[in-house]
Structure 1
Amino acid sequence: MQSHRAGNALAAFSFVLWGILPLYYHFLPQANTNELLASRIIFSVPVMLLIIMILRQPLPSYRAIINDKRSLIFTVIASLIMCISWYAFTWALTHGQVLAASLGFFINPLFAIAFGVFFLKERLSNAQIAAVVLGIAGISYQVWNYGELPWIALIMGSFFALYGLCKKFIKYNALTSVTIESVVLAPFAIAFMLWQYLQGSSVALSSDIQTLLLYMGSAPVTLAPLIFFALAINRTSLTMVGLMQYIEPSLQFLLAVFLFGEIFDEVKLVSFGFIWLGLLLCTLEALIRGFKNKHRLRAQ
């Protein structure tokens, strides 16, 4: 019981850290998103190795990695997909679009449900069907009124769901796969940063030390929540993790509206309302299922 509570606390804390990330990126307005992404990739390698040492996990075996070619291929694909999702996320946070980032994480579970049906042949419950329909209705309402798709939110939500789908086919543990993702992309990121510097157009390498440190810090501040999440995942249930994941976009939503002063008009209220209602139905269904399963186990 104590371990379970500790797991819940660690999971909640990890999502809180992810949720308040906009506060960090608020110090980098109009940042060069390409360099920000490259900096995160480069400095993720030493940070991930440090995390593995802190958690006393064995270092990934080169032979084991190479022998599992299927996992390696999907890890490379996952790294490229994450780049796209993270690029959209960092652009949103550094260009006054935190509300769009929040929407992206709110609709991510809907994309995950859809991909589960199309690629994994999973069957939808009534609540999940309703959530997908309500999500489509919410996005459609925004498109109808604004005349354009919420591209940032859709890219974030869909590519992060694709990233999760790739993880289904990777046998490496979570820390190993994330480390490999960084190692694979690091040479390209280093080459890009050097090219930017030689061209005289590098923001991170040509600015003051504070700006450079902020670019470098994008790796640890985004990976720190992973430490707590990795510690939590074996100490709590996936149901609780699924329910607590909405802490992140909820905090981002509150920061966008009440701290950063982004416009939350009637159109967004209706659009978000549809999506929130669908997520509420899925949450209630998960809680009821968890309660029934617990009651059944006690009866046995």
Structure 2
Amino acid sequence: MMVRSGAALAIFSFILWGITPLFYRLLPGAEPIEMLAQRILWSLPLLLLVRPLIKQRTRWREIWQDKRSLLFCLLGTSIMAISWCTFTYAMTHDQVLAASLGYFINPLFSILLGMIFLHERLSLSQKLAVLFAFAGVSYQLWQYCQLPVLALIMGSAFALYGLIRKFIRFDIITALTVETLWLFPVAIGLTIWLSTSGESALTNADTTTRIYYALTAPVTLLPLLFFAAAIKRTTLTVIGLSQYIEPTIQFLLAIFLFNEAFDKVKGVSFTLIWIGLLFCMSGLLKGWILQRRHHTSVVQNGQPKEDII
């Protein structure tokens, strides 16, 4: 039952992430830096309210004693700031298709980073997945004579953040709170600078626009909270397969609702990357099936099912 509820939470979180372009369409041409600052300013009080509700949260004393995790939180939040800015720009400047591409290739970046930094050995399916993804990006470079920069930044930044999270020993909500605390002074400084220099879009904005900027915090955090709950209730295989829901929804929105250009070059590029993802998914499913068979054999040999769950 817990595994099923975890799968439902994972699917729901990725659906929420997938439909976020609908919200950002309310802020066309928004300034990514100012939106980042507002997201941080409004996220901190929300996180401080949510954190006490987490039973197995890291205590404040343990946080300050773990200097290594604190530094990795600083590194992680710096990378996420880049990811947020590029994502916001894509959402508010008719580049939802680029965001979709970025999150399709994100798992493949994660595979490469695991091989380089964690010395993980790639299976045949993973090697084929990376090869097809490389072919897809290379095809766009060859045809357009330019790289899909936004997609590559989003895909690689989120993969790097995932790698850094492996070295942070705090629970996910505490880690997010610490990361937000690191950027909070920067957000205040940016807000003051934009206001005094006359560059702020909020200075003369109406009340509705101000509310939309403030809502970027819960729009960002809500799916993340469901995702954090899902991680504790289901397997990484389910998480890995569910994550493709987000870019699929964004892809469909970009093509059929936002009418973004999708020519033959992008069609070939996406197809190659999707083939790579099929190899990646087949590897995940194979591992899951083998794991289930192992669990079944353990149960048949007399171990209680409770120990397995």
Q: TM-score, normalised by structure 1?
A: 0.97
1:259 aligned to 2:257? yes
Relative to structure 1, is the Cα distance of residues 228 and 91 closer, same or farther in structure 2, using a 3 angstrom cutoff?
Answer: same
Counterpart amino acid of 1:270?
V
Aligned residue for 1:175? Answer: 173
The CA distance in 1 between the partners of 2:22 and 2:49, in whole Å, is 24
Alpha-carbon distance, 1:203 to partner: 0.8
Alpha-carbon distance, 1:99 to partner: 0.1
Counterpart amino acid of 1:261?
N
Structure 1, residues 273-297: CA drift from partner, whole Å, max 9, x if none? Answer: 1110111111112112211221122
Alpha-carbon distance, 1:59 to partner: 6.5
The CA distance in 1 between the partners of 2:245 and 2:253, in whole Å, is 12
The CA distance in 2 between the partners of 1:299 and 1:199, in whole Å, is 68
SS in 1 for 2:30: coil
The CA distance in 1 between the partners of 2:256 and 2:30, in whole Å, is 22
Counterpart amino acid of 1:83?
A
The CA distance in 2 between the partners of 1:297 and 1:232, in whole Å, is 21
Matches within 5 A, 1:193-208: 193-208=191-206
SS in 1 for 2:122: coil
1:18 aligned to 2:17? yes
Matches within 5 A, 1:104-123: 104-123=102-121
Aligned residue for 2:305? Answer: none
Alpha-carbon distance, 1:194 to partner: 1.3
The CA distance in 2 between the partners of 1:59 and 1:231, in whole Å, is 13
The CA distance in 2 between the partners of 1:13 and 1:140, in whole Å, is 33
1:8 aligned to 2:15? no
CA contact (8 A) 1:205 1:212 kept: no
- List gaps (5 residues or longer) in structure 1: none
2:154 paired residue among 153, 156, 160: 156
Relative to structure 1, is the Cα distance of residues 59 and 234 closer, same or farther in structure 2, using a 3 angstrom cutoff?
Answer: closer
Counterpart amino acid of 2:200?
S
The CA distance in 2 between the partners of 1:60 and 1:289, in whole Å, is 32
2:293 paired residue among 282, 292, 295: 295
CA contact (8 A) 1:51 1:227 kept: no
The CA distance in 1 between the partners of 2:89 and 2:58, in whole Å, is 32
CA contact (8 A) 1:75 1:180 kept: yes
Counterpart amino acid of 2:199?
S
Aligned residue for 2:143? Answer: 145
The CA distance in 2 between the partners of 1:142 and 1:62, in whole Å, is 48
Q: TM-score, normalised by structure 2?
A: 0.94
Counterpart amino acid of 1:122?
E
The CA distance in 2 between the partners of 1:139 and 1:132, in whole Å, is 11
CA contact (8 A) 2:125 2:283 kept: yes
Aligned-pair RMSD on alpha carbons? 1.2
Aligned residue for 2:30? Answer: 31
CA contact (8 A) 1:103 1:153 kept: yes
2:183 paired residue among 182, 185, 202: 185
Alpha-carbon distance, 1:60 to partner: 5.0
Counterpart amino acid of 1:138?
G
Identity of aligned residues (%): 52
The CA distance in 2 between the partners of 1:61 and 1:195, in whole Å, is 35
CA contact (8 A) 1:20 1:251 kept: yes
Structure 1, residues 37-78: CA drift from partner, whole Å, max 9, x if none? Answer: 11111111011122224x344665333112111111001000
Relative to structure 1, is the Cα distance of residues 278 and 58 closer, same or farther in structure 2, using a 3 angstrom cutoff?
Answer: closer
CA contact (8 A) 1:98 1:252 kept: yes
Aligned residue for 1:94? Answer: 92
The CA distance in 2 between the partners of 1:36 and 1:57, in whole Å, is 31
Counterpart amino acid of 2:171?
N
Matches within 5 A, 1:27-66: 27-53=26-52, 55-57=53-55, 61-66=59-64
Alpha-carbon distance, 1:200 to partner: 2.4
Relative to structure 1, is the Cα distance of residues 49 and 99 closer, same or farther in structure 2, using a 3 angstrom cutoff?
Answer: same
Matches within 5 A, 1:211-226: 211-226=209-224
The CA distance in 2 between the partners of 1:23 and 1:110, in whole Å, is 26
The CA distance in 1 between the partners of 2:266 and 2:57, in whole Å, is 46
CA contact (8 A) 2:58 2:171 kept: no
- List gaps (5 residues or longer) in structure 2: 299-309
User: Bigger shift: 85-94 or 226-235?
Assistant: 226-235
The CA distance in 1 between the partners of 2:204 and 2:169, in whole Å, is 41
